Structure 1
Amino acid sequence: MKKDFLKYQAQTGPAPLSIEVSHAKGTYVYDVSHKKYLDFVAGVSANTLGHSHPKIVEAVQKQAASYMHVMVYGEYIQKPAVEFSKLLAKSLPGPLETTYLVNSGTEAIEGAMKLAKRATGRSGLIAAKHAYHGNTQGSMSLMGFEPRKQAYRPLLPGISFIEYNNENDLYNITEDTAGVLLETIQGGAGFIEPKNGYLKKVKARCEEVGALLILDEIQPGFGRTGKLFGFMNYQVVPDILVMGKGMAGGMPVGAFTASHDMMALLKESPKMGHITTFGGHPVIAAAALATLQELTSSNLIPQTLEKEKLFRSLLVHPLIKGIRGKGLMLAIILEDPEIVNFLVLEGMKKGLLLFWLLFEPKAVRITPPLTISNEEIEEGCTAILELLEEWNSQNVN
């Protein structure tokens, strides 16, 4: 199987981890040799409720038995998509009330970029250095990391970059700016939180010059930071909200939300300003609805902050230089990228799944399912500390 995997399936890197998955349940992934792995990654923040959550499985099976794809997005009334969008609107502050459902986070970014240009009549977009918003041509144009972009130029014109948390850069937002697109918490950069009311100040500057604030919640969204969306921690409301990843409990999905009046601009002049065949797919929407219902009717979201405290209390070691992030969106910061590689690769051998971050080589991702238990947290943290001790024993001067 591995030989076929490497030959017939396109790869994203030269050395994939190559676990041959048999099944996954709760906080564990199992390979074909019956080895189990405690999952501290959750499909890169996608498996919000863990693996094969019974309510999501039931929703998917029930909807698949009723109907699957019947028409391109926006033509037929399909109950799962309508119910999800309505519950989402009830869970968001105004004026965020109308949602466009798409297939992935990067497509949602593309839609948000178009909507900002359509709403303002401007073309300029601003993103942050070390930003990551996806990998299609448009969203890659917003990536603030040139080594990942240089092979694919030319990209979209009219995009400039500011430094996240640098208030002096806010004056780069001008009357030519259609939108400022920021991650609420920078992911690939190392889980960098906004400081000193930064997002509020960005929003104020946008309002001053007539630009729109677009917040990328693809990773922080759906409960990972102790609120349904990360922006709710920082007393700011975006003009356009972008989401994906954990939205449907492990199913492929994305969306962007704005006011009803703003979203209506995509309907005319020209018609079909944004279209998608499979966006709002009823099976995916059923999974998203089940996920959102579980999050809004349980204590999982506030529990993420208690679980964060447990992680921080346990992960104390001389090689750990800090822990960034919020809730269950955490990154261990180490002094050497080689220690990161050791933790990820040796952790897998020990049955613990960890992963890298895109642009911060000294960081190890910890983004487990929100359903992880305290006992599982303790089990995984014990393994991390043991691995760090192994590193020390192997690298004594």
Structure 2
Amino acid sequence: MNRKEAFLKYQAQITTTPFLLDVEKAQGSYIYTTDKRKYIDLVAGVSSCTLGHSHPAIISAVKKQLDLHTHVMVYGEFIQEKPLELAKSLAKYLPKQLNCTYLVNSGTEAIEGAIKLAKRKNGRKKVVSCFHSYHGSTQGSLSAMGTESMKEKYRPLIPHHEHIRYNNFEDLDILKNDVSSIIIEPVQGGTNFIVANQEWLEEIRKRCTKYSIELIYDEIQTGFGRTGKMFGFELFNVIPDILCLAKGMGGGMPIGAFISSKKNMDYLSTNPPLGHITTFGGHPTSCAAALATLQELKNSNILELVNPKRDLFKKHLTHPKIKKIHGTGLMIAIEFENEKVCQEIVKKVLRNGVITFYFLFDRKNMRISPPLTISEKDIIESCRIIQQTLAE
């Protein structure tokens, strides 16, 4: 049995048509396979490898932490240097009302924790989110997902979840004093990177304040620099009550967080105590990687170069088959005529040495979300390959 056959037999699959790249190593913006091929990676683990693959700062931080200790105790009992330093650094960077961090293992855990925190604070049941949103695949986050085709086989889900249209003002009338929380992506990551409307977000913030609704931002994809700002909400200056992070936070290591005020977070420690528990949340090795990622973004010009790099992609992707380019920062969606055309192009581009990907809810768009550290040379070369593929 070869590795491909073993992979398909022993590892549970989520699709009948996986890419099946057999990875040997990854460095910077490149993935190298066991058949000695080199691919330019324009997906970055779906917006997860912020600094590229095997970044020296992350590798060094992880190795140093491994020499000290790995997991020692369930979350919140022992003082550990890297989780504490990460939480302190986030508090220094974020607005003063986002000063307390609960560290988890993934994005869906961050969403689950945020929903629980909101319910514990205001005692309400109703959760509002948007159609075509993606917040994770566990019961609570799946209930918040806005696409029925992804949910129907798993019902019954968590009750009292309602959905509104993204960027639609009329639907905001649902925000009354029976709503516990509303979950918003500043840029919708499961569809074609639709950017929130400034006035729409401002109106949501206004109504949340009026009715004591917890405004939750799902920044699992937008957080840690992908929009050109450290956090997506900085594009709008509309501050949430709870901020959810993951993916790019760890620079390739598994980690997530939900962040709110210390006053809010204290609800989880009493009545009942242990109101939210995790064994591996805040794992020191992942926290070391996240802290290194945060420091690298703060101490370099990486964020300043995000939008110029986006402009370079747009400059070199001009084929007639490309109908439109959506998104912001290094969240780029290339729209084609239909789903069939897009899927064929993604497959052909892969064969030609460039990794792109699909979107969950808009399959006629091709996802480009490369490492923020991708070079101009690699952008130009990847665009050349895409253009060449489109001409075939």
TM bin, normalised by shorter chain, reads: over 0.9
Paired with 1:48 and 1:360, the residues of 2 have a C-alpha distance of 24
Instruction: State the one-letter code of the partner of 1:199.
Output: L
Match of 2:154 in 1: 152
Instruction: State the one-letter code of the partner of 2:282.
Output: G
Matched, 1:176 2:178: yes
**Deviation string, structure 1 residues 104-123 (Cα, Å, up to 9, x no partner):** 00000000000010111111
Match of 1:359 in 2: 361
Q: How does 1:181-200 map to 2 (within 5 A)?
A: 181-200=183-202
Match of 1:370 in 2: 372
Paired with 1:41 and 1:123, the residues of 2 have a C-alpha distance of 37
Q: How does 1:92-103 map to 2 (within 5 A)?
A: 92-103=94-105
**Deviation string, structure 1 residues 344-391 (Cα, Å, up to 9, x no partner):** 11111111000000000111000000000111100011111111111x
Instruction: State the one-letter code of the partner of 1:29.
Output: I
Q: Which moved more, 1:362-371 or 1:308-317?
A: 308-317
Paired with 1:268 and 1:323, the residues of 2 have a C-alpha distance of 49
User: Is the contact between residue 352 and residue 389 of structure 2 (CA under 8 Å) also seen in structure 1?
Assistant: no
Paired with 1:292 and 1:198, the residues of 2 have a C-alpha distance of 29
Q: How does 1:96-111 map to 2 (within 5 A)?
A: 96-111=98-113
Match of 1:32 in 2: 34
Match of 1:112 in 2: 114
Paired with 1:140 and 1:72, the residues of 2 have a C-alpha distance of 26
User: Is the contact between residue 197 and residue 234 of structure 1 (CA under 8 Å) also seen in structure 2?
Assistant: no
**Deviation string, structure 1 residues 77-120 (Cα, Å, up to 9, x no partner):** 00000001111111111200100000000000000000010111
User: Is the contact between residue 336 and residue 342 of structure 2 (CA under 8 Å) also seen in structure 1?
Assistant: yes
**Uncovered stretches (5+) of structure 2, i.e. residues with no partner:** none
Paired with 1:328 and 1:338, the residues of 2 have a C-alpha distance of 24
User: Is the contact between residue 105 and residue 218 of structure 1 (CA under 8 Å) also seen in structure 2?
Assistant: yes
User: Is the contact between residue 198 and residue 236 of structure 2 (CA under 8 Å) also seen in structure 1?
Assistant: no
Match of 2:280 in 1: 278
Identity over aligned residues, as a percent?
51
Match of 2:163 in 1: 161
Query: TM-score normalized by structure 1?
Result: 0.97
Match of 1:79 in 2: 81
Match of 2:330 in 1: 328
Matched, 1:293 2:295: yes
Matched, 1:123 2:125: yes
Paired with 1:29 and 1:110, the residues of 2 have a C-alpha distance of 33
Match of 1:383 in 2: 385
Q: Which moved more, 1:144-153 or 1:189-198?
A: 189-198
**Uncovered stretches (5+) of structure 1, i.e. residues with no partner:** 391-397
How far the C-alpha of 1:302 sits from its partner, in A, is 1.6
Instruction: State the one-letter code of the partner of 1:179.
Output: S
Candidates 243, 246, 251, aligned match of 1:244:
246
Instruction: State the one-letter code of the partner of 2:226.
Output: R
Aligned-pair RMSD on alpha carbons? 0.7
Indicate the SS of the match to 1:197.
Answer: helix
Aligned residue pairs total 390
Match of 1:393 in 2: none
Query: TM-score normalized by structure 2?
Result: 0.98
Indicate the SS of the match to 1:305.
Answer: helix
**Deviation string, structure 1 residues 42-80 (Cα, Å, up to 9, x no partner):** 000000000000110011011011100000000000000
Indicate the SS of the match to 1:22.
Answer: strand
How far the C-alpha of 1:311 sits from its partner, in A, is 1.1
Match of 1:63 in 2: 65
